[in-house]
Structure 1
Amino acid sequence: MTSTIERRRTALRRSALSSPMQHLLRFGFLDGTRTLFDYGCGRGDDLRLLAQMKVPAAGWDPVFRPDVDRQPADIVNLGFVLNVIEDAGERRETLQAAFKLARKVLIVSVMLGYQTKREQFAAFEDGVRTQRNTFQKYYMQDEFRSYVEKTLGANAIPIAAGICLVFKDGVEEQLFLLARQQVRREWRLLRREPDGAAVASMIEDHKEQIDAYWLRALELGRPAAPEECPEAQSLIRLVGSWRRVHEWVGRFFNPAEFEAAAIGRQEDLLVYFALGHFGRRRPVSELPDRLQRDVQFFFGSITKARNAGKRALFATGDSARLEEAAAFCHGELGIGVLNDDHDLTFHQSVLGECLPLIRIYVGCALQLFGDAGSVDLIKVHLQSGKVTFLVYDDFEGAATPRLIERIKVDLSRLRVDFFDYVGEYEPQPLSEDREGFYQR
C-alpha cells in the first residue's frame, strides 16, 4: 500500500527506560539472566540503558537499525509499534513475527485513546493522521487485549494501561500469575525456649540451616520439599531423613506463626484459582512443580482446588457477601474507608491484607486493567459490579494530593474506562485524611 505517512517521525528520544521496560524491571525480568530483543527499537535508547544494566539485549528497527538480524530471545519487546502501522495486515504480521521470536514472553504496548482523543485528528485508515503526518491507532484497553489474543491465539495478561504480556510457555505464565497473588509477608521466626542446655547448644551450632529451613517453610505455608531448600542435604545428615526435618525443626519455633503462614498461603492459592476461572484465560494441562505440591498439601487434588476457586469467584457476585467482607476488612482488620454499604476504598499496598473475597473481586478488575502497583487507591463498589482505581500526583508526599487519573472497570460488561484530570480539567484534591486508606 502506498502511503505518505512518515513513520520515522514516531521514534522518540528518551533518557529513561520506556514504560514497558520499566514494568519488565519491576516484575524481575531484567535481572540479567534472560536475553531480550527489542522489535522496533527506534533510536536504541532502551538498548543503551539496558547495556548499562548488564542485560543482554539487541534490537532491530526498520528505519534506524534495518541491517540487524531479527533474532530469537527469551523476552521480545514490541513497544508502541503496532499503533504507528497504518496497514492492518502489516500490523497483524508484525505482532505474529515478534511473538514467533519470543522464547518465553512477549511484551506488547500500544497507545490508548478514547473518542475525545480521536476527534482531535483527521481519520485515516482505521486510526488517525496526526499533525506531524504520523499515523496513530488508538486502542481501548479491552479492545487491545482482545486483538492480541485473537491474533496470537494465546492469553494476553494486562500489566498496565496499554501494556500486556503474552507467554509462550503455560508453566511460565502460571508462575507469573501465581507470584502476583502471593502476598509478601514478614516473618519474625518466633522461637520456643530451648529444652535444656544440650538442645540450646545444638540449635546454636546449626542455627543457619535451621533458620533457613523454617523461613522457607513459612514462605511456602507448608513443609518444604528437598529441592525447595538449599540446606536439604546438611539437614538430612543432621536428622537422618527428609521426612523428619519439618517436625524436628518445628520443635524450636512457635507453631502459631506456621499456622498463620499456612492460612495466608492457602488464601493466596484460592485467589489464584478463582481468577483462573474469570474472563478468557485459557486452561493449561501442566502445573509447575511447586504448584503441584501446593495443591496436594492445601486442597488434595487439582479438581478440588479449581472447584474451590470457582465457588469463591461466584461468591463475588453476591452483594450481601461483598458487604460483609468489606465491613470485616474495615471494622476488624482496620483497612480503608468504608462508605456504608456503597464502597470500600483503600491504598493498593494493603490489598493483600483484605479477605480473599475482596482480593478476588479486585483481581478480576486487574485482569482487565493491569497491576495494582501502578495506582494509589482502590475503590470497591459493593453494589454495582465495578472497581475504580485512582492515581494521584505524589500521593505520599504532597500536602494535598490531587487526582490525575481514574480508571473504572465494569466487571459485568468487561469494560475499562479511563478518565484523566489534567490539562483543561482542574485536578480534584483528596478530600480524606490519606492515613485512613491504609491499615490501622
Structure 2
Amino acid sequence: MVEPTWNSERRLTAISRASLSVPARQAVADKQVLPDRTVLDYGCGRGGDVRALQHLGCQAAGWDPYYLPEAELRRADVVFLTYVLNVIEDPHERRKTLQAAWDLADTVLVASARLTWERSKVKGEAFGDGLLTSRQTFQHLYGASELRNYVEEVTGVRTVSAAPGVVYAFKDETARLAYLAQRIVPDAVWLASEDTTSAIAAVVDYVERRGRLPRTEEVPYPMAELLSHLSPGELRRLVRDSADETKVEEGMKRTTLNTLLFLAVELFNGRGPFSSLPFSVQLDVRAFFSSYKEACQRSDRLLLKLRDDAYVRGAMNASKVGKLTPTALYVHQRAIDHLPTVLRLYEHCASIAAGRPQDWTVAKLRHQGRAVSWLDYPDFDTDPHPRILSSYQVDLKTLETSHTSYADSKNRPLLHRKHEFLAPDDKDVERYKRLTAAEVKAGLYEHPHLIGTENGWQAELVRCGRELRGHRLIRRTD
C-alpha cells in the first residue's frame, strides 16, 4: 500500500481534544468500538481520540503524517478517518486516502467530515471544490448524502449514516445488518439469574417481551448452564405455565412489527439474503411469518405506504402519542417506539439516510412532504417550558439536510403542553397535565400566537399575574 503524501498546512486543522470527538463517541455508543477490537485512528492529528479510547480500555493506536509519521501502520478492526476528507484539496489524493483507510479496516470504517450547514463558520475564498482559508487550510464541506454516496463509491459497499457527517462502511454485509438490527430490534436485556428458578423467570420475561422462546444460542452462557439439566420440553412447559398469555401476544405483535420495520428499512437501504440477517431476526421471521418471502412482501407494502400522504396523515391522526399540528407530528424521544409502525419507519429511514444527531429530544415528522427534524430541548425534564437549542432536518425526497442553532438567540421558541409529546403511560404525564390545566385556567393560552417564544410567553405571564416555580404556577408576588 502506498501512503499518500499530505501537504503540511493541513496540520493546522488538527485540534486538541479534551474528550472524544463526535464520531468516536458515536462509535462507542453504537458498540462498534469494543475492548476486544483494535482501533486505528488514521490521520489522528494530535491524538486526542487515541488517548481517550486507551483510557476507556480500548486497543487504540494512531497515525498522522505530521504529528505521528513514524507510527507503524497496522490493520485494525475499526479504522477512524475523522475530519480528514474535508481538508484534502486534491480530489485524487482525497480518494486515495479514503481507499487507504478502507484497506486498513477489517470490520468497519468510520468516516466523518464537516457538513455544508457549517458554511457560516468557514471563512475563505473559493478554491477547487472547496474553500481556502486565510491560514492556507482547505475545507470541502459535504452534504450528508454526498458523504455517504462518496464513501459507497470508493469502498464499493452499502453504508449507513450513524450521525450527521458520520458514515459507517462495513467489510461484511452481516455486520451492517447486525448494526441496523441493533438500532431497530435491540438485543434482549436478560434478567439477572443466580439459580434455576430465577433463570426460568428470565426466560419467561424474554418470552413475554419477544413473543417466542429463545434458542439456546441466544441465552447468556451462565444462564444456559443453570438450565442445562432441563429438557427443551420441560422448559417449554414451565414457561407456558408461568407466562402471561396477554403479554406473550403483545410481545408477538411487537416483534412482528419490529421485524417488518427492520426489513422495510433494509429495503430502503438495499436488502440482502435471508442468510445474512442477524440470527435472532432469522428466528423472528421463522416464528411469525410463513416465509421470508411473505415477510419481505409485507415490509415492501409498508414502505409503499410511506409514500401515501393520506395514509401517513391517517396514521398521525390515529397515533396515541405525539402532538399533531397542521403541518407535523411532534414526538418525544421516549415515545418514539409507541408510534404506528409506518411512522417509526418514516423516522428510521431519515436517520439511515442522513444520520440521527446524538443530542435530540423531540422528532418532528412533517405530513406535507417528507421531512424529519430532530429538535434538541436539553432541559425538557426540568424546565416547564423548555427552550430549543438546535434543529437538524433531512428532506427525504432530496436528502438535503439543514441545521439551525438557537444558542445565541435572544428570543428562542419554547414548548407548551409537554404531556402531549409523551406516551400516555409516561411517569411525568400527570404532573405536566396539572401544569397545563392551571395555565389554561389562568388564561395564559388565550392568545396562542403570542406564547410561542420566550418574550411573548413572559409577557403573557405578567399580563395574567402569574409566575412559575418549577412545574407549579403561582401568583406573582411583585
TM-score tier by shorter-chain length is 0.7 to 0.9
Which residue identity is paired with 1:315? K
Distance 1:260 1:438 in 2: 21
Deviation digits for residues 64-104 of structure 1 (CA, Å, limit 9, x no counterpart): 11111211111111111111111111111111111111111
Aligned CA RMSD, in angstroms, stands at: 2.7
What secondary structure does 1:429 align onto?
coil
Corresponding residue number in structure 2 for 1:430? 414
1:29 Cα deviation from its structure 2 partner: 2.9
Distance 1:154 1:301 in 2: 27
Corresponding residue number in structure 1 for 2:286? 296
Corresponding residue number in structure 1 for 2:39? 36
Aligned counterparts, 1:237-276, within 5 A: 237-238=229-230, 241-276=231-266
Residues 399/134 of structure 1: CA separation in 2 closer, same or farther (3 Å cut): farther
What secondary structure does 1:237 align onto?
coil
Distance 1:219 1:103 in 2: 35
Residues 373/62 of structure 1: CA separation in 2 closer, same or farther (3 Å cut): closer
What secondary structure does 2:214 align onto?
coil
Aligned counterparts, 1:38-437, within 5 A: 38-114=41-117, 117=120, 120-182=123-185, 206-229=196-219, 230=221, 231-232=223-224, 234-238=226-230, 241-278=231-268, 280-281=269-270, 283-284=272-273, 286-329=276-319, 333=320, 335-340=321-326, 342-371=327-356, 373-398=358-383, 400-423=385-408, 426=410, 428-437=412-421
Which residue identity is paired with 1:369? A
Which residue identity is paired with 2:370? G
- TM-score (normalizing by structure 1): 0.87
Distance 1:208 1:414 in 2: 49
Corresponding residue number in structure 2 for 1:199? none
Residues 185/336 of structure 1: CA separation in 2 closer, same or farther (3 Å cut): farther
Which residue identity is paired with 1:133? Q
Which residue identity is paired with 1:337? K
Distance 1:187 1:353 in 2: 22
Distance 1:346 1:183 in 2: 20
Contact 2:27–2:33 (CA under 8 A) maintained in structure 1: yes
Corresponding residue number in structure 2 for 1:192? none
1:219 Cα deviation from its structure 2 partner: 4.6
Which residue identity is paired with 2:325? N
Distance 2:33 2:6 in 1: 37
Q: Unaligned stretches of 5+ in structure 1?
A: 190-203
Distance 1:174 1:283 in 2: 9
Distance 2:121 2:359 in 1: 25
Aligned length: 417
Which residue identity is paired with 1:11? A
